[in-house]
Amino acid sequence: MIVLLVLVVAICATALIALLRARLAEQNFPPTGQFVTIGQTRVHYRQLGSGPDLVLIHGSSGNIRDFDFGLMDALSKTYRVTVFDRPGLGYSDAIQDPSIAAQVALFRAAADQLGIHNPLVVGQSYGGSLALEWGLEGGAAGLVLISSPSLPWPGLLDPWYRLTNTAIGSAVGPWLAAAFVPKSYVDASVAAIFAPNPVPDSYIEKIGSALTTRPWSLAANAAQINALRAQLVAMEPRYPGLDLPIELVHGDADTIVPLTIHSLPLSKLLPNAHLTILPGIGHMPHHAALPQVLMAIDTAAHRAGLR
């Protein structure tokens, strides 16, 4: 009886700590955009500029703030740029289906409600997988994939994702991590994502990484990553049918989504793809090689007849 009581107290304390940390994160990093509602799901978005429509989709564990370090401002000079928080991340509501198809359906409905039709779709990392699905489903003028997973990878995901791919791990893991993972661990993880390039000044302070460690965001992100590989297996045979302009941008020092497993072989499968390889650049070219990313986006827009 005492053991059971201690367990209940520990569970309640963990949940309370996780919720308090989540509320503090939301106080420190409030929404920066507006909301559009699709069915019962609120989608958080920001829109800036005027011109041809361009949709930006962020990667895993991210939010729309990741594009506030030069990319969105530069693009807004010649495009109407719309950035969505992915479901469960930032301030968009989570959805039950973790598939990229479900996320794309949500974004396409949101885009339609905002008067966005046939946009250039730009995705970074996991967001590029969504861009690919958007292209396969139709309704995109062209695609730009930045350091994006696109093909099935060998081996297993890291232990965190293997844990959260179990019933007990998915129920308990996000709450334990949300309550007890220290900021130093988050900072080290961000540094590893940028490596070998430095983390931009004030990135940690402005990105709102604490939003990612809310329990519901950890759970949503884990479910999406765990579901990704099987979806890429199903998508791969459809790639040769993509007949729209596609620009691939990938650093050759990317250890998160390796060039040789993803964009390089993908460029040989896609009839209309052009690959830009960035020497010495890791997983975040839109920070470490912004001019080259902007050039690829403009090239895709020209090829699509938008510029």
Tell me what pLDDT residue 15 has.
86
**DSSP line for 226-288:** HHHHHHHHHHGGGGGG--S-EEEEEETT-SSS-TTTTHHHHHHH-TTEEEEEETT--S-HHHH
Give the three-class secondary structure for 85: coil
227/232 Cα distance (integer angstroms) = 9
What CATH architecture applies to the domain 2-303? Answer: 3-Layer(aba) Sandwich (3.40)
Q: pLDDT tens digit string along 58-114?
A: 999 999 999 999 999 999 999 999 999 999 999 999 999 999 999 999 999 999 999
214/217 Cα distance (integer angstroms) = 5
93/220 Cα distance (integer angstroms) = 10
Tell me what pLDDT residue 9 has.
60
Neighbours of 241 (CB within 10 A): 10
SS3 content of the chain, % helix, strand, coil (to 5): 50, 15, 35
Q: Which helix (H) or strand (E) holds 159?
A: helix 159-163
Tell me what pLDDT residue 224 has.
97
Tell me what pLDDT residue 288 has.
96
Q: Which helix (H) or strand (E) holds 41?
A: strand 41-48
Tell me what pLDDT residue 10 has.
65
Q: Which two tokens stand for residue 214?
A: 């809310």
Tell me what pLDDT residue 89 has.
96
Neighbours of 231 (CB within 10 A): 18
Tell me what pLDDT residue 213 has.
93
Q: Which residues of the chain have pLDDT under 50?
A: none
Tell me what pLDDT residue 6 has.
58
* Virtual torsion, Cα 252, 61, 270, 247, nearest 10 deg: -70
Amino acid 249 reads V
Q: Is 8 exposed, middle or buried (0-12, 13-18, 19+ CB in 10 A)?
A: exposed
Tell me what pLDDT residue 3 has.
58
Tell if the pTM clears 0.85, that is, is over it: yes
- Please report, rounded to a whole number, the percentage of residues in the chain having pLDDT higher than 90: 88
Tell me what pLDDT residue 5 has.
58
Q: pLDDT tens digit string along 143-166?
A: 999 999 999 999 889 999 999 999
**Where exactly are the structural domains of the chain?**
2-303
Tell me what pLDDT residue 21 has.
92
